[in-house]
Structure 1
Amino acid sequence: MNLSTIKSPGVYINEVSAFGNSVVPVATAVPAFIGYTPQAMYEGKSYTNVPTKITSFADFQAIFCLPNPPAPADPAKQYDPEYYLVKQDSQPTQGDYMMIGSDFYSILPDPNTIYYLYNSIKLFYDNGGGDAYIVSVGPYGAPSGNPAILGEQVVNPNVQINQLTNGLALLKQEQEPTMYICPEATLLSLENNASLMQAMLLQSTEMQTAVCIFDIIGGDDPDPLKYMDDIEAFRNSTGSNGLDYGTAYYPFVGTTIMQSTDIDYTNLFGGDVSQLKDILSPADNPNATVDAIIANIQNPPDGKALTVSQYNNSLLVASPTYSTIIAHVLQDANLLPPSGGMAGVITTVDNQVGPWQSPANTSMVDAVNLPISLSETQQADLNVDAISGKSINAIRFFNGLGILIWGARTLDGNSKDWRYLSVRRTMTFLEQSCKLAANAYVFAPNDKNTWEAVKAMIGSFLNDIWKQGGLQGASASDAFSVECGLGSTMTSEDILNGFMNVTVKVAIVRPAEFIVLTFQQQMATSS
């Protein structure tokens, strides 16, 4: 109360706050997904290129998914990849294939129909995801009508570098996201993928609020002998800026996100069932039931047309070959970049412990197989790179344990400060929490009362983090220190210029990445 404002006699109450301001911890696991969606429309408003916060998969469906037609029609397909069976002269050495009769067929996608965002969002929420931002840069493009070339990287020309970078730039206006994820970046050419990753790292460095989770081109179909070529290409593509804000996971993961009801004959040969008929009912071994079903699909009786799912179920019963084809296509469609799942894993770990706990030595829900089984020796080249320091986190299979995330490093592997993802994310969490709390003191008197209030506020916050295990030290004084004052962090000139400098030192917890057990024999002693 300002006594000079009291003019008339009377009794006045002056309430004095007993407690100072407090630091409210910021959210630590809010991914921002950038990519292509089935649609971006809600209540007549377009959400294309509009960063939109969602809290559940139902929110995503309401805004970014196609509406379902009325019954009895089948639900709308939100992701509709197309695949081709291409006959080969001999057994293929790359990619997925199957044998029909005495012939080998490679299962190849139409590159223009491959997208990852929709299934990555499902993988994120299946692994415990919560709040997230979606930046839809557009709908799916038209199919090419041709299969990919066997052995070559799948590049989707509908995925445009300028659209993705524009979507990324929109996030500069959003302070809440703590992770940048672009699952469809691996569908770009190597050169465009490099440009996008470097732009993501640069923006993370400028914002100081988010880390980038990268997938690696080639992680979907790694060559057992030459997979390191893909790793080297990735390392050469990420540049040298902002590496402590980046982390990468390898390889892709085989999931159960898509179910058998999500793939049918319309996903084969661009929906041309005549090509499918040539395989299921060849002239030298006809299948009359298949012929009848396909004839009905091509020319349905008046008023008696069945739904796609009904025709599909009939084909599954009529032809074991068709069932095998669908199983192979489903397996290929379920091979996903791990970034979406990692965002969910990080969210779960943060909710259970905190950002100081490494999101490693844990499983990924829905992950059932891997395209390559890395050994301990093979991972050594991924985890440590003496030249660039760009560590790659491996996803590995262990007998009796299943598939585990077996890495916790950033791309700045040669830095003792920022080598570990948990350290980078904990520092970002502490910095942003204290920064937002300090806003209350902008324009406050730059005097001892304010300095002590700021020290007490930040000190109380760090003490709580230390008690939770986020800082190391036998006592609070060993875990952190906060300094603010004339002669310690400021000079008289600083005060004249309006600067209040606060120095915070914290002892961050680091993961026990290498556990060494020492065994030694000793002589037996008499009892």
Structure 2
Amino acid sequence: MPEYLSPGVYIEEFESGGVPVAGVSTSTAGFLGLAQRGEAEGLPELVTSFADFQRKFGGYLPENQFGEYRFLSYSVEHFFINGGSRCYVMRATPDDAKSSVNEVYDFIKFNAKNQGSWGDRIRILIVPSSKAKTQIFEDFENGQYKLKSSIGFNEGDIVEFIDGEVKQINKVIMVQDNLVTFEKPFEGEVIDSEILPTKLLYTKEINIQISYGDEVENYEKASLNISKSNFIEKLLKKSNLIEVKVDSDFIKDTVTPFLKFAGEKPDREKVWIDLTDGSDGSLDKLSPANFIGSDNGPGKRSGIKSFIDNDDVSIMLVPGVTDPSVQLDLIAHCENKANRFAIIDIPKEIKKVNDLKQWRNMFDSSYAAAYHPWVKVFDPVDKTNIFIPPSGSVAGIYSRSDNTRGVHKAPANEVVRSCTSLDCQYSKGEQDILNPIGINLIRAFTGQGIRIWGARTLSSNAQWRYINVRRLFIFIEESVKRSTDWVVFEPNDAELWARVKRSLDNFLTGVWRDGALVGSSPSDAFFVKIDNTTMTQDDIDNGKLICIIGVSPVKPAEFVIFRFTQFTAEASGE
């Protein structure tokens, strides 16, 4: 409580109402798969367009190298084509993938930022430069000189004194104001106090240009002085293309940075450095472990586990990877996080109904849905049509449906954009068998295009049969969770309970008005209970606030039935 120690008027503010509950996004997808480039460890990268994906992860992978593991790029492309707006992408790599390197020099090693043959197309241009220049005003002998300005000169810098055509190389030992001590005295007369001097002292650095296709990075005034802020290792940490490692044992001699690269050809004006020996890896070294990933702690996770720290993703998929171990791990990840939904691809070669039923028996989860068959799209690389897994397109449709209708609308009876045909066509009779067990078919209808014609999860529990019901609960639960942090450590009394209830009532009323809940009034659509009936004194003593929320979600009209009979005026008595 505030203290009042002298007479006066005091103004206080306090919060009496509930804090609004904001709805979370449900349309952000998380992709995992093989790519040309990109980090395979750490946090997934945000991608907002297919062009953005190409800049960060490269283009399409060749079929002859990775077969049906190559579909990440195609799936991300069709995610955006079908209405997706943003996603997070994580790269997986085979065990034998290697980064491109250059180990020509004993004092420095360049390597591509991450694995892949893409690094072999990186070129590095080195040219000499100078960060600072000045005049020498006074010679104190024994290598100590007073400079006009010592700004830009640091201990360990390699410098060059130029008097006409005469050049001398030296190293800075100590700097104190404008008094600088060098490794050795300069030869000859070095004093020049003229307004337009002819004798100048320069620091020696290099400019670096790194190019990869149309992507170019420029770093100016890089130094080999490890104590400087423009030390080459520190400067190139910003690079998206390469990494640099300097061996300090080989940079202690008095040689200018450029001459270290020019070597036996000191008259060169520039030096080109190429990286080699990069590898995308091979199919033989690819296993489910590469996609499942490893948990080596924050910032070091890979595969599916790299999405543990990402709370923005609400849809998860590993396009084209149909290994049961990977799919079961993906579903387990979604169930454990409880704030995302998995889209599963069925193996392309499985087409018979009995085989599909057998495949389906491996799964039972309300946090996943399966789609079949694969869809035919145009491949801009081979200039022909190919079949790709449907999960990327389906994720885009989820996003499109969420943004246009809401997460409560079943993402079905929606056109699959940029799809010319299907790998196989199933009949109504075959769907009569597959739909009840949770296999969502994509079908072509005369005059209506190619559409998703199923909205079921892979759950055996009838309460969680429909995708939109599970995703609506994810939306409500995650929205409440993220917007009620303010409640933690507040006094657990009736006043707090009333504020929490008011916040939840307002939020759920908005959800009901959007058409996500069944009922002619809010009281028919949901209830919020938070009082002495929902928690005991023991709960309160143990720091628990228990709130029970019930909602009545809308279910899709999956079976539309029109019943006909003959009608005559005589039969009706008119």
More strand by share: 2
Residue 123 in 1 paired to residue 75 in 2?
no
Partner Cα distance (1:31, 1:466) in 2: 25
Specify whether residues 452 and 233 from structure 1 end up closer, same or farther in structure 2 by C-alpha distance, changes over 3 A only: same
Q: Give the Å deviation of 1:384.
A: 1.4
Contact kept? 2:40, 2:92, Cα under 8 Å: no
Report the equivalent of 2:360. 235
Given candidates 55, 58, 64, the residue that maps to 2:51 is 58
- The letter for the 2-side match of 1:395 is I
Report the equivalent of 2:563. 518
Deviation per CA, 1:238-290: give whole Å up to 9, x if none. Answer: 3x4xx10110000000013x23xx22xxxxxxxxxxxxxxxxxxxxxxxxxxx
Specify whether residues 472 and 185 from structure 1 end up closer, same or farther in structure 2 by C-alpha distance, changes over 3 A only: same
Residue 247 in 1 paired to residue 369 in 2?
yes
Specify whether residues 141 and 402 from structure 1 end up closer, same or farther in structure 2 by C-alpha distance, changes over 3 A only: farther
Partner Cα distance (1:212, 1:511) in 2: 20
Unmatched 5+ stretches in structure 1: 41-45, 66-77, 83-108, 144-154, 187-192, 264-325, 386-390
Contact kept? 2:401, 2:409, Cα under 8 Å: yes
Normalised by the length of structure 1, the TM-score is 0.68
Aligned ranges 1:134-149 → 2 under 5 Å: 134-138=89-93
Q: Give the Å deviation of 1:55.
A: 2.3
Partner Cα distance (1:113, 1:246) in 2: 22
Deviation per CA, 1:364-404: give whole Å up to 9, x if none. Answer: 1111101111111011111113xxxxx10000011111111
Q: Give the Å deviation of 1:57.
A: 2.3
Residue 164 in 1 paired to residue 291 in 2?
yes
Deviation per CA, 1:295-328: give whole Å up to 9, x if none. Answer: xxxxxxxxxxxxxxxxxxxxxxxxxxxxxxx6xx
Given candidates 397, 412, 428, the residue that maps to 1:345 is 397
Report the equivalent of 2:110. none
CA RMSD, aligned part only? 2.3
Q: Give the Å deviation of 1:358.
A: 0.5
Partner Cα distance (1:50, 1:229) in 2: 40
Q: Give the Å deviation of 1:62.
A: 2.2
Q: Which has the larger radius of gyration?
A: 2
Report the equivalent of 1:406. 453
2:76 partner SS: helix
Partner Cα distance (1:507, 1:357) in 2: 14
Partner Cα distance (1:516, 1:445) in 2: 54
Residue 79 in 1 paired to residue 215 in 2?
no
2:564 partner SS: coil
Report the equivalent of 1:204. 334
Aligned ranges 1:47-446 → 2 under 5 Å: 48-65=41-58, 78-82=59-63, 112=67, 115-138=70-93, 156-166=283-293, 167-186=303-322, 193-218=323-348, 221=349, 223=351, 227-238=352-363, 240=364, 243-256=365-378, 258-259=379-380, 262-263=381-382, 330-331=384-385, 334-385=386-437, 391-412=438-459, 414-446=460-492
Deviation per CA, 1:226-248: give whole Å up to 9, x if none. Answer: x224413422333x4xx101100
Q: Give the Å deviation of 1:18.
A: 6.4
Q: Give the Å deviation of 1:111.
A: 5.2
Report the equivalent of 2:207. none
Deviation per CA, 1:201-236: give whole Å up to 9, x if none. Answer: 212111101111000013xx555xxx2244134223
Contact kept? 1:214, 1:247, Cα under 8 Å: yes
Partner Cα distance (1:195, 1:14) in 2: 59
2:562 partner SS: coil
Q: Give the Å deviation of 1:176.
A: 1.8
Contact kept? 2:21, 2:480, Cα under 8 Å: yes
Partner Cα distance (1:131, 1:111) in 2: 26
Report the equivalent of 1:307. none
Contact kept? 1:54, 1:60, Cα under 8 Å: yes
2:420 partner SS: strand
Report the equivalent of 2:537. 492
- The letter for the 1-side match of 2:454 is G
Q: Give the Å deviation of 1:416.
A: 2.0
Partner Cα distance (1:12, 1:32) in 2: 52
Deviation per CA, 1:477-520: give whole Å up to 9, x if none. Answer: 0000000011x201111111111000000000000101111112
1:244 partner SS: coil
Normalised by the length of structure 2, the TM-score is 0.63
2:538 partner SS: helix
Partner Cα distance (1:216, 1:9) in 2: 77
Report the equivalent of 2:25. 27
More helix by share: 1
The count of corresponding residues between Structure 1 and Structure 2 is: 380
- The letter for the 2-side match of 1:174 is N
Partner Cα distance (2:40, 2:362) in 1: 31
2:508 partner SS: helix
Q: Give the Å deviation of 1:17.
A: 4.1
Specify whether residues 157 and 524 from structure 1 end up closer, same or farther in structure 2 by C-alpha distance, changes over 3 A only: farther
- The letter for the 1-side match of 2:311 is Q
2:464 partner SS: coil
Between 1:16-25 and 1:243-252, the stretch displaced more is 16-25
Specify whether residues 141 and 119 from structure 1 end up closer, same or farther in structure 2 by C-alpha distance, changes over 3 A only: farther
Residue 460 in 1 paired to residue 516 in 2?
no
Q: Give the Å deviation of 1:29.
A: 1.3
Specify whether residues 441 and 110 from structure 1 end up closer, same or farther in structure 2 by C-alpha distance, changes over 3 A only: closer
